[in-house]
Amino acid sequence: SPAMLFLRKESIDSSLSSIRILFDQLTICNGSEIYYSNLKSTDSKFTRLDLADFQIETQIISAILFNNKLYVLTEHELLIFNQNN
């Protein structure tokens, strides 16, 4: 079987709670923030997603980007955000 080669290490200042990949979009969560990376990009940097001053009152379990929408799963809700251009 083929061996996996280490590419690089990314550091985030808090514990991560989930990682999701859909096509070329990677989302990771730390319970209160969501980070995004485009895997087709040459630098694949992580960017914290701005929820336009919306305060999520419970812990973020998971998040995923699909069709220009952000789906955020919390302990008791599924929140859906449209991308603001």
pLDDT of residue 85: 62
pLDDT of residue 31: 87
Task: Round to whole Å and give the CA distance between 85 and 83.
Answer: 6
Most distant pair of Cα atoms in the chain: their distance: 47
Taking only the tens place, the pLDDT of each residue in 65-81 is 999 899 999 989 999 99
* DSSP alpha helix (H) spans, the chain: none
pLDDT of residue 10: 74
Q: What is the pTM of this model?
A: 0.79
Taking only the tens place, the pLDDT of each residue in 6-58 is 777 777 777 888 889 999 999 999 888 999 999 888 887 888 888 877 888 88
